[in-house]
Amino acid sequence: MAKHVFRLVAGSMIAAAFVSQAAAHGGHSESIGFPTGMLHPLTGWDHLMAALAVGAFAARLRNGASLGVTAAFATALGGGFALSRTSIALPLLEPMILASIVGIGAMAVAAERLKFPPAIAALACFGVFHGYAHGAGAGAHATTGFLIGVIASTCVLIAFAAAAFRHTPFRRLASD
């Protein structure tokens, strides 16, 4: 198990190198909608890795839980996006984005030992920060279509990762 945790931490450290570079992928100067929203989670390593980690976490859970995990993260993503439209500033945004990648990865490794409600609460907290970052990165020109695109793309990424991880040795990681 220690070997797996070391690999997770090492991978997260490598990922951290991309976070500051990818986190501010805004710069939009005109009204942006659904197509841009669909592409947005794919343009930053931080959001892409978080969605894939959520999918890995979902893959480790019992069959019915995957939908709940996806719904919780997507709902929190939307809430964070809405929060970015207010005058409320989330403190420590970039460190929380990094913490979410490491945290969700750790949740995926330990999924079989976690209590479901606290795990979903942590996942939702991370989702709020990612949604806020999406909204802040898109700026004032983002439409509701943009948000729908971001959520749709994120859900597809989560589903893809969950399906992929269900059919790999990763599924049995905790029992090693």
Does residue 166 surpass a pLDDT of 90?
no
Does residue 80 surpass a pLDDT of 70?
yes
Convert the pLDDT of each residue in 139-151 to its tens digit. Answer: 888 889 999 999 9
26 vs 38, more confident: 38
Instruction: Give Cα 150 to chain centroid, integer Å.
Output: 11
Burial class (CB in 10 A: 0-12, 13-18, 19+), 84: buried
What gap in Å lies between CA 66 and CA 68, rounded to an integer? 5
Contact (CB, 8 A) for 102 and 47: no
Does residue 152 surpass a pLDDT of 70?
yes
* Domain residue limits, the chain: 32-175
pLDDT band, very low/low/confident/very high, at 20 (cuts 50, 70, 90): very low
Convert the pLDDT of each residue in 30-78 to its tens digit. Answer: 668 899 999 988 988 888 999 999 999 999 887 668 888 999 999 999 9
What gap in Å lies between CA 156 and CA 88, rounded to an integer? 29
The confidence score (pLDDT) of residue 70 equals 92
Does residue 158 surpass a pLDDT of 60?
yes
Convert the pLDDT of each residue in 101-139 to its tens digit. Answer: 999 999 998 988 889 899 999 999 999 999 999 899 888
The confidence score (pLDDT) of residue 27 equals 47
The confidence score (pLDDT) of residue 131 equals 95
pLDDT band, very low/low/confident/very high, at 173 (cuts 50, 70, 90): low
